[in-house]
Amino acid sequence: MDKKVIYTETAPKAIGPYSQAVLVGDLLFVSGQIPLDPETMTIVSDDVKVQTHQVLKNLQAILAEADMSFNNVVKTTVFIKDMNDFAAINEVYAEYFTTTKPARACVEVARLPKDVKVEIELIAHK
**Residues identified as active-site:** 106
- Identify whether the C-beta of residue 111 lies closer than 8 Å to the C-beta of residue 105: no
Q: At what angle do helices 48-65 and 86-96 cross, to 10 degrees?
A: 30
CB 34 within 8 A of CB 112: yes
| C-alpha span between 86 and 95 (Å, rounded) | 15
How far is residue 37's CA from residue 23's CA, in Å, rounded to a whole number? 24
